[in-house]
Chain A
Amino acid sequence: MTATQETQTSQAMTPLAAGFHDPVHDAQACFRAVMNAMARPGTRQSLDIAGLTPPAPLTSVAAALALTLLDYDTPVWLDKPLMASEAVKAFLRFHTGAPIVNEPVEAAFALVANPGQMIPLASFNQGSAEYPDRSATVILLGQGFGAARTATPAVTLTGPGIQDSTAFPVGPVPPVFWEQVAANSRQFPRGIDLIFAGAAEIAALPRSTRILPTEV
């Protein structure tokens, strides 16, 4: 009890980590990386995150994405490790003003620090047939790209933004993740959009992308 209180006090005492050094141009550069990633699903876009030192378990890349995309209009949902950190919540509240919500379905954005244990994609707002744009964007933290760095085999993607098809090795993701992603794209135009945040790179998977069955 006392130990928890002490941790919380010490977290509250640590000075708030800084946001973007140059809010206008850093946010623009970050957005262009996100836009290119979304327009070309599966491609890796590098992100300049110099100077961002957000409290763990929030990563620099995820912090950059939050500072670029979140504000008072966008309720955000945090997974357990992030929700447990007062420093993360203070960082997001101060720099973005985004309301932090408890129910995944209420969120416009979701930050997932422990993607291996992620809740099903169907828990998030899928948008409606009339307004498919009102669905959530889910950001997975701590992702590694490239075959060597992922435990799961690469999936093959096809759809808008991809010339023919492209291999997309990424991880860690939960065991049934790709089935969920395939189901997500089947309900197009409804569905959520995914952003994979690595150490200095991002990739994205909009709902329009189809997952091709992998040849054995």
Chain B
Amino acid sequence: MTDTARIPESLHEQGEYNFAYLDEQTKRMIRRAILKGIAIPGYQVPFASREMPMPYGWGTGGVQVTAAILGRSDCLKMIDQGSDDTTNAVSLRGFFEKTAGVRTTCETAEASIIQTRHRIPEKDLREDQILVFQVPIPEPLRFLEPRETETRKMHALEDYGLMHVKLYEDIAKNGHIATTYAYPVKVNDRYVMDPSPTPKFDNPKIDRMAALQLYGAGREKRIYAIPPYTKVKSLDFEDYPFEIQKFDKPCGLCGAENVYLDEVILDDKGGRMFVCSDSDYCEERRADGHLGPMAADPAAARVGNTRTGETIR
């Protein structure tokens, strides 16, 4: 009796979805927006964003960009805050495994397309790789000027004084530029752009990156891009130059320095450690025999092992 309700296995092989979920006309529309985005680095190209089978905020923009560029021979990596095994990364990876049947990976070096939410991998990206960002609010001026008509004019006239006022007010209030993520950049000396809510630690990586960067904002219906080797400058002042976060300790598990660290709570007695936010980078270093100061700690080892176990899957 239960057999009648079951969907036959063969139906999956017939393919209920077009390759990578989107229909071909939608892909063409997104592809044209991507081409214009590449031709005008940092400019936000409006596009007819579709409703996706996931809520806004889960990366609908990045998913649509990835779906439009993805091919059968691609190898896809999905990261969320640097990690391959958090909810967002796992479900979006599953989405493309199901709708496109492409190879997926957790290794940065193996991937041809990396879709990311709020981090850039620690490992330098190559020319043959593409980095796709999920963007919540693409307009860097939006919180300073809510009207789209006005911000559009400001971009047209290259009028970015307001952004400098905002950074100046940061200094006046806090003594330093207090913006730590979604730190505004100027692309190719023309457009001020929001690099999505990546920590400003990652801003130097955007500058003259060998890989092509594509940014997709689904709810806000914008696509923008930075071609390889494009000059990207984080906004600052002569006397208050741009600087990135510094960590006084290395990664607890792999001992890496000069990487972005996440705080992990180990127990309810105040035990904690700082580990690489890029889980693949951390695992690779540990596999190479690098050990951090917390690696021997049983509580810390549990955190590390869970991560390894889930990633191998």
Contacts and interface: CB of A to CB of B under 8 A. Distances in A.
Interface of A: 23-25, 27-29, 31-32, 34-36, 38-40, 68-71, 73-74, 108, 128-133, 135, 137, 159-163, 188-189, 193, 206-208
The 9 A-B pairs with the shortest beta carbon distances in the complex, nearest first, are: A206-B39, A161-B227, A129-B156, A160-B230, A133-B36, A160-B227, A133-B45, A39-B227, A193-B39
B45 A71 contact: no
B69 interface: yes
B38 A133 contact: no
A38 B188 CA distance: 16
Interface stretch (B21-29, B80-88, B264-272): B21-29
Interface of B: 18-19, 24-25, 27-29, 31-41, 43, 45-46, 68-72, 152-153, 155-157, 188, 190-191, 212, 225-231
Contacts of B31: 31, 34-35, 68-69
A134 B178 CA distance: 37
Contacts of A29: 71
A39 B305 CA distance: 40
B69 A24 contact: no
Given A25-B19, A39-B225, A208-B39, 15 more contacts: A24-B18, A24-B19, A27-B27, A31-B69, A34-B35, A35-B34, A38-B227, A39-B38, A70-B28, A132-B43, A135-B36, A160-B226, A161-B227, A189-B190, A189-B191
A142 B68 CA distance: 28
A161 B43 contact: no
B35 A129 contact: no
A207 B40 contact: yes
B70 A28 contact: yes
19 contacts: A25-B19, A27-B28, A28-B72, A29-B71, A31-B68, A32-B69, A38-B227, A39-B228, A69-B32, A71-B29, A133-B33, A133-B45, A161-B230, A162-B229, A188-B190, A189-B190, A189-B191, A193-B35, A193-B36
B181 to A, nearest CB: 25
Contacts, number: 111
Given A130-B153, A160-B230, A161-B227, A71 B35 contact: no
A32 B71 contact: yes
A188 B69 CA distance: 26
A205 to B, nearest CB: 9
Contacts of B28: 27, 68-71
Contact of A132 (B35, B40, B228, B231): B40
Contact of B72 (A25, A70, A71): A25
Contacts of B229: 160-163
Most chain-B CB neighbours within 10 Å: which of A23, A40, A159, A208?
Answer: A208
Nearest to A129: B156
A100 B80 CA distance: 45
Contacts of B230: 160-161
Nearest to A72: B25
Contact of A74 (B27, B32, B212, B225): B32
Contacts of B191: 189
Most chain-A CB neighbours within 10 Å: which of B37, B40, B156?
Answer: B40
A35 B45 CA distance: 15
A159 B45 CA distance: 20
Contacts of A189: 40, 43, 190-191
B228 to A, nearest CB: 6
B289 to A, nearest CB: 35
Contact of B41 (A69, A70, A74, A208): A208
A90 B32 CA distance: 23
B266 to A, nearest CB: 44
Contacts of A207: 39-40
A163 to B, nearest CB: 5
B24 A27 contact: yes
Most chain-B CB neighbours within 10 Å: which of A34, A36, A39, A132?
Answer: A39
Contacts of B39: 38, 193, 206-208
A22 B49 CA distance: 25
Contacts of B212: 35-36, 39
Contacts of A193: 35-36, 39
Given A39-B228, A130-B156, A208-B39, A24 B34 contact: no
Given A40-B227, A161-B228, A28 B38 contact: no
Contacts of A159: 188
A207 B188 CA distance: 13
A119 B225 CA distance: 30
A35 B159 CA distance: 30
A133 B28 CA distance: 15
Contacts of B231: 160
